[in-house]
Amino acid sequence: MVSGFGFATPNQKLETRNQKTNFMKRREFIILSGIGATSASLLSACGHPEEKLIPAFIPDDEYVPGIDYWKASTCGMCPAGCGIIVRTREHKANKIEGNPLHPVNHGALCARGQAGLQVLYNPDRIKGPMKRIGERGEGKWDEISWDEAIKILADELRRTTYAEEAIFVTNDMTGVTAHVANRLMEALRRNAYVVLPLSYDPSSEYPGGPLFDLANATYLISFGARFLEVWHSPVMYSLAYGEFRSSVGKPRGKFIQIEPRMSLTGGNADEWLAPTPGNEVLAALALAQVIVREKLHKGVVSTDLANDLTAFAPETTAAVTDIPHEKLIRIAREFAKAERPLAIGAPGAMGAAMLLNRIVDNTNKSGGVLRSESNDESSPLRMLAPAGRFSTISHFRFPETLNLHQRRVMMIHRFNPVFVTPAVREGILRIPFIASFSSFLDETTELADLVLPDHCDFERWDVRSTSATTGGIVISLTQPVIEPQHNTRQTADVLLDLARELGGDAANALSYESAKDIVEKSVAKFAVNSRRADADTAWQELIDRGMIETTVESKQAQRNQSNKEPSPSLPGVSILAEDSEYPLTAIIYESASHGDGSYANLPALQEVPDPMTSVMWGSWVEINPRTARSLGIKEGDFIDIQTRTGDVRLPALLYPAIRPDVVAIPFGRGHSAYGRYAKNVGANPAPLFPTSERGVGLDSIVRARVVKSNDKGELIRFGTDLQQLMEKKPWR
User: Sign of the C-alpha dihedral, residues 8, 12, 14, 15?
Assistant: negative
Q: What is the largest distance, in Å, between two alpha-carbon atoms of the chain?
A: 77
Instruction: Report pLDDT for 54.
Output: 43
pLDDT of residue 162: 78
**What does residue 615 show for φ and ψ, rounded to 5 degrees?**
-80, 145
Residue 268's SS3 state is coil
**Cα–Cα dist 480/64, whole Å:** 19
The domain segmentation of the chain, as residue ranges, is: 1-121+465-479+531-571, 147-199+376-454+489-529, 210-370, 584-728
Question: Which pLDDT score is estimated for 158?
Answer: 93
Write down the mean pLDDT value for the chain. 82
Instruction: Calculate Rg over the CA atoms of the chain.
Output: 26
Q: Give pLDDT, residue 718.
A: 80
Residue 123: cis peptide before it, omega within 30 degrees of 0 = no
The arrangement of secondary structure in 1-121+465-479+531-571, i.e. its CATH architecture, is Single Sheet (2.20)
**Which helix (H) or strand (E) segment is 579 a member of?**
none
The CATH architecture of the domain made up of 147-199+376-454+489-529 is 3-Layer(aba) Sandwich (3.40)
Class of 210-370 per CATH?
alpha beta
pLDDT of residue 152: 97
* Type of residue numbered 94: N
d(C-alpha 423, C-alpha 331), whole Å: 43
Per-residue three-class SS string for 62-124: HCCCCCCEEEEEECCCCCCCCEEEEEEECCEEEEEEECCCCCCCCCCCCHHHHCCHHHHCCCC
* SS3 track for 160-226: CCCHHHEEEEECCCCCHHHHHHHHHHHHHCCEEEEECCCCCCHHHCCCCCCEECHHHCCEEEEECCC
Of the candidates 386, 331, 49, 46, the one whose C-alpha atom is nearest the C-alpha of residue 186 is: 386
CA angle 415-417-419, nearest 5°? Answer: 105
Please give the pLDDT value at position 12.
34
Coil, strand or helix at 614 = coil
Identify the architecture of domain 584-728 in CATH: Beta Barrel (2.40)
pTM (2 decimals)? 0.85
User: Residue 467 has what pLDDT?
Assistant: 79
Q: Tell me whether strands 621-623 and 662-667 are parallel, antiparallel or unpaired.
A: antiparallel
Query: To 5 degrees, how large is the angle CA 61–CA 62–CA 66?
Result: 105
pLDDT at 442: 97
* Dihedrals phi, psi of 572, to nearest 5 degrees: -70, 150
**Axis crossing angle, helix 325-337 with helix 280-293, rounded to the nearest 10:** 60
Which pLDDT tens digit goes with each residue over 228-259? 999 888 999 999 999 999 988 888 999 999 99
What is the structure's pLDDT at 40?
31
User: What phi and psi values does residue 708 have, to the nearest 5 degrees?
Assistant: -70, 140
pLDDT, mean of each 10-residue run, the chain (732 residues): 31 35 37 33 36 45 72 92 92 93 94 94 97 92 98 94 83 86 87 67 50 94 94 92 90 95 96 94 96 93 92 94 96 97 91 94 91 63 67 63 80 91 88 96 97 96 84 88 96 96 92 94 84 80 89 46 58 79 93 90 93 91 96 94 93 96 94 94 89 46 91 78 48 36
**CA–CA distances in Å: residue 414 to residues 225, 523, 598, 641, 708:** 25, 25, 9, 30, 37
